[in-house]
Chains A and B, each alone.
Chain A
Amino acid sequence: MPKSMYIHIPFCNRICTYCDFNKVLIKNQPVDAYVDALIKEIEMIEPQTLKTIYVGGGTPTALSEQQLEKLLAVIDGRFSVEDEFCFEGNPDELTLDKLDLLHNYGVNRISLGVQTFNNDLLEVLGRSHNYDDIFRAINHMEKIGLDNYSIDLMYNLPGETMDDLDQSLKYIEELKPRHISWYSLIIEPHTVFYNRMRKGELTVDDDEKEGEKYLYVIKELEKLGYPQYEISNFAQPEFESSHNKTYWKNDNYYGLGAGSHGYINGTRYYNVKPVNHYIQAMEEKSDALKESLELSVKEQMEEEMFLGLRMNRGVDITRFEEKYGKTLDSVYGSVIEEECAKGNLVRDSGHVALTPQGRLVGNSVFLGFLD
């Protein structure tokens, strides 16, 4: 059974122009009813010790202190967390009081949505915070001793220069966060960005330039003491995200809240997305499941590969065999050999992993493992 849990808070005070996650503007939403419904869903799960809990969004910090406390009390009453209890938060919303509350209920990691330190770019992204908010939030965290935080950054933003990347690197050096997620901007359909791109109002660099920036970020973070451990993730030793590794190791997790995804014993499932539908489903039948999909063993193995290869460490050969009762070579021997010959994969006795060259074109390597 899962040892990890994802909890979704689909509310935001402002909608970012690039975001395609399940979220709504918090204004006039039935937030209290949502929290109640969510608590009901949480209470369906047996009290137990979990390895990780991750509360994401939307913006979990968009909830009021009262709402947060109500939710945290239930979580705290049912589960003890062995390893990582992480909350996503926006710099402008992480007040000292809220942080204190989180800290008191055992939250031991904050994922801070910084995105960039450039105020102009923050505006383009439609973020609610500015440069000053970032430092204020970090001060608060240090003050209460919640010093395990990650900062989320983005690159390949419209109008971004190498100087912007250098600026971010400079602050990283200064602030010394434990962990950094640095994603390249993905223009998703149904976002403000997508429409503005289509109209030609926005442009981003091509994938060649994007590749250069990517390699630059990897190299510079390494120098600063943040070795890459996943396609877009970097951490000081011992501070890799335990929760996110659940996904990449293809382990089980619960998904709770509107539109959340979970994975239990080979079945992927997700809840209804619209907030009102979710509340109604929980109220009426104590179940908000929208769809579940049982994966074949072959599909499970495919996902084991394209998720596992995202990590620099790669896919654990022994673990694969234990999980599926087949050797990795008997299933994927020829693909692995082919990609090794191209210089995209490398293997040792324990793992198969992407090479730096392979990481740059990971998708084309992953395709080899799909049928």
Chain B
Amino acid sequence: MNDFERIERQENIRNFSIIAHIDHGKSTLADRILENTSSVASREMKEQLLDSMELERERGITIKLNAVQLKYTAKDGEDYIFHLIDTPGHVDFTYEVSRSLAACEGAVLVVDAAQGIEAQTMANVYLALDNDLELLSVINKVDLPAAEPDRVAQEVEDVIGLPKEDAIKASAKANVGIEEILESVVENVPAPAGDPAQPLKALIFDSAYDPYRGVISSIRIIDGTVKPGDKIKMMATGKEFEVAEVGINTPKPMAAKELTIGDVGYLMASIKTVSDSKVGDTITHADRPAEKPLEGYKKMNPMVFCGMFPIDSGRYNDLREALEKLELSDSSIEYEPETSQALGFGFRTGFLGMLHMEIIQERIEREFGIELIATAPSVIYDVHITDGSKIVVDNPSEMPDPQKISHVEEPYVQATIMVPNDYVGPVMELCQKKRGNFVNMDYLDDIRVNIIYDIPLSEIVFDFFDQLKSQTKGYASFEYDFIGYKESNLVKMDILLNNEKVDALSFIVHRDFAYERGKVIVEKLKNLIPRQQFEVPVQAAIGQKIISRSNIKSMGKNVLSKCYGGDISRKRKLLEKQKEGKKKMKAVGNVEIPQEAFLAVLKMDED
């Protein structure tokens, strides 16, 4: 291709994403679009083709991104190249969503015809608007009995400002309205506007690690052209590589001669770790670099930390290898060795948020077969020492003695909660209980209210979302953004089992709640820790002061009374079952502690 052909070709490219609140049908719509264009035969399709990780399928959420090239012959008789770019669907991955949206010119906004607009709908709309995308509204699931497409279309007009008459009424499941959507993409999503003669500028919007091929970067070419053999440079990290292969996903990867303006595809360049190909970074040519990188690159910092320890202490090295491998594909996890008196050797590991943490823990157990004990997650505290210095504490057990502390600052987020107005009371009550400061309340329409609070991140980490769901019967939706550090009156609570401090159970708590929470946690632990052969006192203490105490009674009779009749296999199975339970516990001193005990602190406000 010459530059003239590249510019002509660019005219018929349409790059877009589908954005939606979780469960509003984004993945199903993506599947239908794939079926209705010439990319993949229907019979080859697995449900929700774009979600490729096993874990994603199970949880019904999208974690990693995918982009696929489709060919569509429109009613105007022209052939178009579509790039459909998938986005992750969870609050922990906002930055990745925003970068994949930055690779598009338009977005299809999917709203459930029964549920209407929800918090994530709005969050995604804001991200799309930040990236100057053309929005097309689709009212999905119109075939459901509870569907109210006209009401929802009105809502979309009122809240987002997209004219209701432009809304396409569709049912991705029933294959209704799909062609209309495709035609609307052709008509309304602008063609890309890159210049092939300019130095190369390509946006990395995803970066995945493949054990055989190294890092595969998903890229969008803004200016210039890239092809195998090119020397490229990552503008944020300064690292240089030689391109081995470029190509597109159909969704199967297919190598291409080049990727040029408007293209969305993949690039491989013998990159060993995703931290050398960071999401949001700009790729340019090493010998003819662009003057400025694309805007919007941010280094993602972990917000939530926990200790992860192998139950079998002999598997410490396996755990390190597992983390090293995960790090190749996930540049947002951080870890460093941690030694706990109670749990032995493990790693303090940082995550973007709670879901990210759960996913990584599950992957370590499932993909690497390592049984873990994870401590309750903690945020990062800025601790100001009386001598004027400042230390950063991401592990409660490392909090200095109270007399050495001048004051402590903790991270705050701004939480935006959208609920039907019936639940305004309970939500505000919950936010107050979680030490939130009221910021604002907006009525979106007659029914829906947006409630905004500044809340300490640590309170969000401590089961905020679960409680929000139960207080609002699942009607609330919720988003948060980090806003900065604020001073708080915080103390460290220690837990003693059998009169020994268990460092991994320590947690940070606001002084006003300390007594109450000390009592609750002692009761929780009493119920969660199985009875041992001897009585075990459980105590909660601040410094030297015991604020609550209870006893785990010793075990009663525990022996199979009958063992005759010759059915030994059954007795064996019974013992094996008990043994399995025991294997999931960590012996701390001579007390066996199950994983749930370490997370008890998260569930303190229940009941």
Contacts and interface: CB of A to CB of B under 8 A. Distances in A.
A363 B559 contact: yes
Contact of A366 (B533, B562, B567, B575): B575
Interface in B534-578: 553, 555-569, 571-572, 575-576, 578
A231 B566 contact: no
Contact of B562 (A186, A211, A293): A186
Interface residues of B, number: 25
A85 interface: no
Given A303-B572, A306-B575, A364-B533, A231 B559 contact: yes
Interface string A12-27: 0000000001000000
B558 A207 contact: yes
A367 B568 contact: no
Nearest to B554: A208
B563 A260 contact: no
Interface string B217-252: 000000000000000000000000000000000000
Interface in A268-294: 268, 270, 293
B578 A303 contact: no
B579 interface: yes
Contacts of B569: 261, 268, 270, 293
B257 interface: no
B560 A363 contact: yes
A21 B564 CA distance: 11
A247 B566 contact: yes
Contact of A183 (B562, B567, B572, B578): B562
A253 B566 contact: yes
A290 to B, nearest CB: 12
A207 B555 contact: yes
B568 to A, nearest CB: 6
Contacts of A184: 557, 561
A306 B560 CA distance: 11
Contacts of A211: 556-557
Contacts of A307: 563, 568
Given A255-B566, A260-B566, A367 B556 contact: no
A228 to B, nearest CB: 12
Nearest to A291: B569
B582 interface: yes
A361 B566 contact: no
A206 interface: yes
Given A342-B533, A367-B579, A244 B558 contact: no
Interface in A289-317: 293, 299, 302-303, 306-307, 310
A207 B559 CA distance: 10
A363 B578 contact: yes
A6 B564 CA distance: 11
A231 B565 contact: no
Interface residues of A, number: 45
Given A207-B555, A207-B556, A363-B558, A261 B575 contact: no
Contacts of A302: 572
A248 B560 CA distance: 13
Given A253-B566, A367-B582, A232 B556 contact: no
Contacts of A186: 560-562
Nearest to B570: A261
Contacts of A344: 533
Contact of A360 (B553, B557, B567, B575): B557
Contacts of B572: 299, 302-303, 306
Contacts of B590: 342
A90 B590 CA distance: 47
Contacts of A147: none
A60 interface: no
Contacts of A21: 565
B562 A261 contact: no
Contact of B579 (A268, A293, A342, A370): A370
A262 B565 CA distance: 9
Given A6-B565, A268-B568, A207 B557 contact: yes
A262 B563 contact: no
A267 to B, nearest CB: 11
A186 B563 CA distance: 12
Nearest to B574: A363
A87 interface: no
B102 to A, nearest CB: 53
A231 B553 contact: no
A6 B578 CA distance: 29
Nearest to A209: B556
Nearest to A342: B533
B105 to A, nearest CB: 60
Nearest to A253: B566
Contact of A206 (B556, B560, B562): B556
B555 A247 contact: no
A364 B558 contact: yes
List the 3 closest pairs (A to B, CB-CB), nearest first: A207-B556, A362-B559, A211-B557
Given A207-B558, A208-B553, A367-B575, 15 more contacts: A184-B561, A207-B555, A208-B556, A210-B556, A247-B563, A261-B566, A262-B566, A263-B566, A263-B568, A306-B572, A360-B557, A361-B533, A363-B558, A364-B578, A367-B582
28 contacts: A21-B565, A184-B557, A208-B553, A209-B556, A232-B561, A232-B562, A244-B564, A247-B566, A261-B565, A262-B566, A263-B566, A263-B568, A299-B572, A306-B571, A306-B572, A307-B568, A342-B533, A360-B559, A361-B533, A362-B558, A364-B533, A364-B555, A364-B558, A366-B575, A367-B575, A367-B578, A370-B575, A370-B576
Interface of B: 533, 553, 555-569, 571-572, 575-576, 578-579, 582, 590
